[in-house]
Amino acid sequence: MESIFPALYILAAAGFILAIKWMNSPLTARRGVFVGEIGMLLAVVGTLLRHEVVNYEWILIAFFIGTAIGVPIAYLMPMTAVPQRTAFSHACGALAAALIGTAEYFRHTPHGFAMGALVVETLLGFLTFTASLMACGKLQEILPTRPITYKGQNFVNLGIFGLAAVIGAALVASPESTWLFPIFAILSLVFGVLLIVPIGGADMPTVIALLNSYAGLSASAMGFVLDNKLLIVAGALDGSSGFILAVIMCRAMNRSFSNVLFGAFGTIQTSTKKTVERPVRSASPEEAAEILDAARTVLVIPGYGMAVAQAQHKLREMFDVLSRRGVDVRFAIHPVAGRMPGHMNVLLAEADVPYDKLFEMDEINSEFPRADVALVIGANDVVNPAAKTDKNSPIAGMPILNAHEARTVMVIKRSMNPGFAGIDNDLYYMEKTLMLFGDAKSFVSNIVKELNTALAPAR
């Protein structure tokens, strides 16, 4: 009977691997979730049946509470809040790893290699816990979303991290010094908070991916402590997933990876260049509707502003009307648009935009010169041509969507305030650019109204 448990764990690991493999296509992705669920079920059953586990009542109560929290989160959370939910679940995962590490320390006080793994587990666990809660708070806008920086910040942060690492090393050298453990835990918790303080909203995609990686690595380290291969595999999969996503996000912002690892992100200096009042052309919904209706190809570039204004459903109506009138409408999605990797895709999919109309940057960038209209909605820095032309720009070298190459550019924007990086966007002042001032949702809905009523029903 005992020999069946390793088999269950191996099957569970296979399930997790297949789950991720099947995520490579929307056609197989739900099957992936299903095998992932089976894998988790096998792992839990395999663990509950182990002879060491004798007390079930607390476990069952905890299952019940966890389910009671998890189900409403999964079904009631609006899709715009997915980044917060993700950050929150990183916090839960990291907390679990950290607490298990702590319990294991007071239970067995491991030595040598296992103690080293335990220190890594708890360090990553505690710091990811508070860092993720901070990220969640910033995303939910309970905490200020602007980066908060002060002089010597990196020094303080690295100092605290260094101190935690030294105490961790001391714990590995003499695991019996139990008094060191609470200090170690508190320093890790504090470091997690400080890590996120200087992070601004636009950097959240990288940070969330990185926290994802840390949470996974923490679970993997737990596998080393408990000598459990399933934990090692599942944690390593999660760790590498978060790591790759963080790298992709970094590349999409042309930031070095070390920049992220040392937590120095969000410290983009705001350009000191004085913004001179320059003339812009603006247009009304009627004019915008006419131009869109006359276009053959329209490329829509959504950004976080679309999510804030909840404009995705109106945008889909516009997509429907224009498609019916023979206009080819596609969506161009920058990797860092939104607050987490893939954020825009989920919002547009929720609004029923078919996913074969959503294109990533590399696929669509060559299409802009042929496009009649590039419609920018709630995006800013990701379409700023300064990234290509101005070497001194804070976003120099960042890959952008080439909206400026389209025949006409339309930008829906509340006002002329510069975006996150505080950089003026030359795109707005181009001859062919029309600024559509207003709330994204109501502006798009006015365009739809125009298309439906004022214009001739068919071409």
- Which amino acid, one-letter code, is at 116? G
CB of 344 to other proteins, least distance (A): 9
Q: Which is nearer to other proteins, 66 or 159 (CB)?
A: 66
Q: Is 232 in the site for other proteins (CB under 8 A)?
A: yes
Q: Which is nearer to other proteins, 300 or 435 (CB)?
A: 300
Name every residue whose Cβ is closer than 8 Å to that of residue 439 and which is 6 or more positions away in sequence.
309, 414
User: Which one, of 191, 189, 166, 161, lies nearest residue 177 by Cα?
Assistant: 166
Q: Which is nearer to other proteins, 249 or 288 (CB)?
A: 249
Asked if residue 174 lies in contact with residue 197, where contact means CB atoms within 8 angstroms, the answer is no
For the segment 309-368, give every residue that binds other proteins (CB under 8 A): 333, 335, 340-343, 345-346, 349-350, 352, 354-356, 358, 360
- Cα gap 130→94, rounded to integer Å: 9
User: Which one, of 342, 425, 429, lies nearest residue 384 by Cα?
Assistant: 425
CB of 269 to other proteins, least distance (A): 29
Q: Which is nearer to other proteins, 86 or 188 (CB)?
A: 86
Q: Is 231 in the site for other proteins (CB under 8 A)?
A: yes
Q: Is 226 in the site for other proteins (CB under 8 A)?
A: yes
- Which amino acid, one-letter code, is at 364? I
DSSP 222-276: HHHHHT-HHHHHHHHHHHHHHHHHHHHHHHHHT--HHHHHTT-TT-PPPP-S---
Q: Is 7 in the site for other proteins (CB under 8 A)?
A: no
Provide the token pair at 196.
């996120």
User: Which one, of 6, 60, 70, 69, lies nearest residue 37 by Cα?
Assistant: 70
Q: Which of 4, 7, 48, 142 binds other proteins (CB under 8 A)?
A: 48
Q: Which is nearer to other proteins, 64 or 273 (CB)?
A: 64
Catalytic residues: 381
Q: Which of 10, 11, 14, 99 binds other proteins (CB under 8 A)?
A: 99
Q: Is 53 in the site for other proteins (CB under 8 A)?
A: yes
User: Which one, of 121, 77, 131, 115, lies nearest residue 100 by Cα?
Assistant: 121
Q: Which of 39, 175, 198, 438 binds other proteins (CB under 8 A)?
A: 39
Q: Is 235 in the site for other proteins (CB under 8 A)?
A: yes
Asked if residue 60 lies in contact with residue 48, where contact means CB atoms within 8 angstroms, the answer is no
Q: Is 442 in the site for other proteins (CB under 8 A)?
A: no
Q: Which of 236, 264, 294, 455 binds other proteins (CB under 8 A)?
A: 236
How many CA within 13 A on the CB side of residue 91? 17
Q: Is 75 in the site for other proteins (CB under 8 A)?
A: yes
CB of 79 to other proteins, least distance (A): 7
Q: Is 29 in the site for other proteins (CB under 8 A)?
A: yes
Residue 414 CA, distance from chain mean position? 24
Q: Is 95 in the site for other proteins (CB under 8 A)?
A: yes
CB of 156 to other proteins, least distance (A): 29
CB of 274 to other proteins, least distance (A): 37
Name every residue whose Cβ is closer than 8 Å to that of residue 382 and which is 6 or more positions away in sequence.
301, 303, 334, 336, 337, 398, 400, 401
Q: Which stretch binds other proteins (CB under 8 A): 81-89, 280-288, 382-390, 436-444?
A: 81-89
Q: Which is nearer to other proteins, 129 or 265 (CB)?
A: 129
Q: In what order do the strands lie in the sheet with 373-377?
A: 358-360, 328-333, 297-302, 373-377, 408-413, 433-437
Other C-beta atoms lying within 10 Å of the C-beta of residue 132: 28
Secondary structure letter of residue 420 according to DSSP: T
Q: Is 31 in the site for other proteins (CB under 8 A)?
A: yes
Q: Which of 4, 65, 261, 454 binds other proteins (CB under 8 A)?
A: 65
CB of 248 to other proteins, least distance (A): 8
CB of 271 to other proteins, least distance (A): 29
Secondary structure letter of residue 206 according to DSSP: H
Asked if residue 312 lies in contact with residue 350, where contact means CB atoms within 8 angstroms, the answer is yes
Q: Is 384 in the site for other proteins (CB under 8 A)?
A: no
Q: Is 30 in the site for other proteins (CB under 8 A)?
A: yes
CB of 242 to other proteins, least distance (A): 7
Distances 266 to 156, 192, 202, 203, 223 between C-alpha atoms, Å: 16, 15, 8, 6, 33
- Cα gap 418→316, rounded to integer Å: 27
CB of 109 to other proteins, least distance (A): 12
Q: Which stretch binds other proteins (CB under 8 A): 22-30, 141-149, 364-372, 406-414?
A: 22-30
Q: Which stretch binds other proteins (CB under 8 A): 79-87, 255-263, 292-300, 394-402?
A: 79-87
Q: Is 79 in the site for other proteins (CB under 8 A)?
A: yes
Q: Which is nearer to other proteins, 106 or 155 (CB)?
A: 106
For the segment 203-222, give every residue that binds other proteins (CB under 8 A): 208-209, 212, 215-216, 219-220, 222
